[in-house]
Structure 1
Amino acid sequence: MSTFRLAAAVLLLAAPLAACGGSGDDKLAHNVKKAADNRADQLEQRADDLKDQAEQVRKTGEKRADAIVAADLNTHAMSPEQKAAIVANQAPAVR
Structure 2
Amino acid sequence: MNKLLIALGLTATVALVGCSKEKQPETGATTGEHLENAAEQAGHDISDATNHAADETAVAADNAADNAKEAAANAKEAAKDATAAVAGSVEEGAANVREKAEN
Is the pair's TM-score, using the shorter chain for normalization, greater than 0.5? yes
Cross-structure match for 1:32: 63
Cross-structure match for 2:86: 55
Task: Count residues with an aligned counterpart.
Answer: 72
1:22 equivalent in alignment to 2:51? yes
Greater relative contact order, per chain length (Cα 8 Å cut-off, separation 6+): 2
Give the drift of 1:28. Answer: 1.0
Segments of 5+ residues of structure 2 without an aligned counterpart are: 1-29
- Tell me the percent identity: 10
Cross-structure match for 1:77: none
RMSD between aligned residues: 1.9
- Equivalent position to 1:5, from 34, 42, 45: 34
Give 4+ residue runs of structure 1 displaced > 6 Å after superposition: none
Deviation string, structure 1 residues 30-60 (Cα, Å, up to 9, x no partner): 1111100100111111121122112201211
Report which stretch shifted further, 20-29 or 32-41.
20-29
Segments of 5+ residues of structure 1 without an aligned counterpart are: 73-95
Larger % of helix: which? 2
